Amino acid sequence: MREITYLEAIREAMTQEMERDERVFMIGEDIGEYGGAFQVSYGMLEQFGPERILDVPITELALTGAAVGAALIGMRPIAEIMFMDFTTLASEQLVNQAAKLRFMFGGKATVPMVLRTPSGSGTGAAEHHSQSLENWFTHIPGLKVVQPSTPYDAKGLLVSSIRDNNAVVFVEHKLLYKTKGPVPEELYTIPLGQADIKREGKDLTIIATAVMVQRSLQAAEELAKEGIDVEVVDPRTLRPLDKDTLINSVKKTGKVLIVHEAVKTSGIGGEFAAVIAESEAFGYLEAPIMRLAGEEIPIPYNRMLEYHAVPQVENIIEKARDLAQLKV
């Protein structure tokens, strides 16, 4: 199978869905002639024209509201927020309108929109362009939250998100845009709410999200040289969450390390831990549930400080090694 980048997989998903369904369109800042802040929509203006690639002024609140309105009347908008940090400005329309309207109208109205946004650190973009806020939106009933870690997952999950009749927050990590992987040329879907075991193992489970999946896989390869067999589980969608896959993995290994980039306090790792603790997997635990997450600080501009503000491969190795040797 051919290999393409995560960025190209996202562009291909949008392009193929727009070719298939005339109701699908894009709306965002600098997505037209410029091709998007990270060039995800490069070339799409020439293919689809300004009526379907809507380049708008700098107003996240308005463009999200326009997407909500368009979705209510039968369109399927893909709204791009340039950096996840700026979803704070779009939150009123996303949280108070998009998430609630289907419920408020008893299912007679739907809001089939996708809000795409890049998250995370690693590019030296400092405090206002490097945050991981995905767990904010998992707290809101009515929103679905998707966070793919591979090009294959990015395409399949985005197609499913575009076709879903609910509002979806689609979170793309900046450092993944240039990563490559096998992706079919044809359209395909990956169901929302279906986790994936990226690596089978028997000694301990690592549950990781976004770029931390790749770092956990690297850590697992190094730990294998020490005789520690790690299973890496990628939830892929944070809401709805595939609890069964997480629980069954922990039942198999008896130990779990949860890794994400966002700060530990109120991060998605707390939800994963609660799911395990409230399930039959709790009785299989051979050691306490452990979490590894970002430091409790804004992301620094200084590149070395930025590096140490979030988990790296060596941190995952150290934490997993400690866990593997730990007994209750």
Q: Which of 253, 159, 156, 153 is nearest to 209 (CA)?
A: 153
Other beta carbons less than 10 A from residue 75's beta carbon: 17
Known catalytic membership, residue 129: yes
Burial class (CB in 10 A: 0-12, 13-18, 19+), 289: buried
DSSP calls for 234-296 = E-SEEES--HHHHHHHHHHHS-EEEEEEEESTT-HHHHHHHHHHTSGGGGG-SS--EEEEE-S
Which is catalytic among the residues 128, 129, 139, 260? Answer: 129
Long-range contacts of 29-35 (CB under 8 A, 24+ apart): 29/55, 29/56, 29/57, 29/58, 29/60, 29/63, 29/80, 29/82, 30/55, 30/82, 31/55, 31/80
Total residues belonging to the chain: 328
Q: Which residues are catalytic?
A: 129
